[in-house]
């Protein structure tokens, strides 16, 4: 599917949402922060800390939770796939319905396909156009300056599998104690926390779309994070990168320095370990997230 097909899908989804609300009733948030990562990289665990750091007051949007609606279930029951356009339309509704437009929104699990990555670029264009269109009108506050960034948490396949299996064992042990004592709340036991083959398949889906995800650095600030180590260590890396980017943006509008930092992160994650014929040097200190 080429870029024009992706643009057509985006435009249809956007038209549906615009007809539903009307431009005069829509309002974009201060920031859209897309949190992506390998299964087991710690997105769910790190989300509250990231939101606090970015002063995000809106509840996070998990794309997987959007796909549990009755309409999505009906499509699944009919054996139909949920299209990229429909996923994007659901996401737009969720963003526009966020209660605190003066704050940002954290989105977990988007984009997951090459088409969704392209649609995110078209959203940036649309947001910029609307911001310019309404900049001198009484509706300017509905369309602030476009502000989209991505944060990608990376771990290798072995680490991803190990963490999810550990999490599965911990959940089962927790639920066993709850059943025995009658105290506490049961936690969801997901097949992807116990079945190694399913875990591998999830990781391969992430890896197959990884290059498309990284290509978005040409359009957006994209922070590639080594998600190895303890949870506080990973958060410190996220905080450092996000804050450094804000300082660089204020001191130097050019993206040259940001691109150099990204290149160093990529080399450290994906090139040096192969040259040295060994896994990422700190991964032996992995703790389940």
Three-class SS string for the chain? Answer: CCHHHHHHHHHHHHHHHHHHHCHHHCCCCCEEEEEEECCCCCHHHHHHHHHHHHCCCCCCEEHHHHCCCHHHHHHHHCCCCCCHHHHHHHHHHHHHCCCCCCCEEEEECCCCCHHHHHHHHHHHHHHHHHHHHCCCCCCHHHCCCCCEEEEEEECCHHHHHHHHHHHHHHHHHHHHHHHHHCCCCCCCCCHHHCCHHHHHHHHHHHHHCHHHHHHHHHCCCEEEEECCCCHHHHHHHHHHHHHHHHHHHHHCCCCHHHHHHHHHHHHHHHHHHHHCCCCCCCHHHCCCC
Confidence of residue 65 (pLDDT cuts 50, 70, 90): confident
Check residues 245 and 44 and name the one with the higher pLDDT: 44
Reply yes or no: is the peptide bond before residue 111 cis, omega within 30 of 0.
yes
Q: pLDDT of 158-216, one tens digit each?
A: 999 999 999 999 999 999 999 999 999 999 888 888 889 989 998 998 999 898 899 99
**What pLDDT is recorded for position 285?**
45
**What pLDDT is recorded for position 190?**
83
Q: Residues 211, 220, 208, CA angle at the centre, nearest 5°?
A: 15
Q: Comparing 8-17, 88-97, 116-125, 205-214, which segment has the lowest mean pLDDT?
A: 205-214
Average of per-residue pLDDT across 82-105: 94
**What pLDDT is recorded for position 256?**
54
**What pLDDT is recorded for position 17?**
97
**Average pLDDT for the chain:** 86
**What pLDDT is recorded for position 265?**
61
Residue 80 has pLDDT above 90, yes or no: no
d(CA 148, CA 124): 7
What separation in angstroms does the CA of 278 have from each of 194, 266, 286? 27, 16, 16
Average of per-residue pLDDT across 223-229: 92
Check residues 91 and 256 and name the one with the higher pLDDT: 91
Burial (0-12, 13-18, 19+ Cβ within 10 Å), 82: middle
Average of per-residue pLDDT across 64-78: 79
**What pLDDT is recorded for position 284?**
47
Confidence of residue 266 (pLDDT cuts 50, 70, 90): low
Antiparallel, parallel or unpaired: β 148-154 and 104-108: unpaired
Confidence of residue 286 (pLDDT cuts 50, 70, 90): very low
Q: Comparing 72-81, 190-199, 213-222, 266-275, which segment has the lowest mean pLDDT?
A: 266-275
**What pLDDT is recorded for position 85?**
93
**Residues counted in the chain:** 289
**What pLDDT is recorded for position 193?**
84
Residue 95 has pLDDT above 70, yes or no: yes
């Amino acid at each position: 599917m080429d870029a024009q097909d992706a643009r057509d899908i985006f435009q249809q989804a956007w038209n549906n949402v615009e007809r539903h609300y009307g431009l005069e009733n829509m309002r974009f948030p201060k920031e859209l922060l897309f949190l992506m990562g390998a299964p087991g990289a710690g997105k769910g665990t790190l989300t509250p800390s990231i939101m606090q750091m970015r002063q995000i007051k809106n509840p996070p949007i998990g794309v997987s939770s959007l796909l549990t609606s009755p309409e999505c279930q009906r499509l699944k029951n009919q054996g139909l796939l949920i299209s990229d356009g429909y996923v994007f339309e659901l996401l737009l509704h969720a963003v526009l319905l966020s209660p605190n437009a003066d704050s940002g929104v954290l989105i977990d699990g988007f984009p997951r396909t090459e088409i969704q990555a392209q649609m995110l670029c078209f959203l940036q264009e649309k947001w910029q156009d609307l911001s310019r269109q309404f900049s001198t009108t009484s509706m300017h506050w509905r369309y602030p300056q476009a502000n989209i960034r991505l944060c990608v948490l990376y771990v290798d396949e072995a680490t991803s599998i190990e963490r999810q299996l550990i999490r599965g064992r911990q959940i089962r042990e927790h639920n066993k104690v709850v059943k025995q004592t009658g105290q506490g709340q049961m936690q969801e036991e997901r097949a992807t926390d116990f079945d190694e083959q399913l875990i591998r398949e999830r990781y391969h889906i992430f890896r197959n779309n990884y290059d498309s995800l990284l290509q978005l650095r040409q359009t957006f600030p994209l922070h590639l994070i080594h998600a190895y180590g303890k949870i506080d260590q990973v958060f410190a890396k996220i905080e450092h990168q996000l804050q450094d980017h804000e300082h660089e943006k204020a001191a130097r509008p050019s993206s040259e320095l940001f691109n150099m930092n990204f290149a160093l992160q990529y080399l450290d994650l994906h090139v040096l370990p192969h040259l040295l014929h060994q896994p990422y040097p700190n991964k032996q200190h992995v703790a389940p997230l």
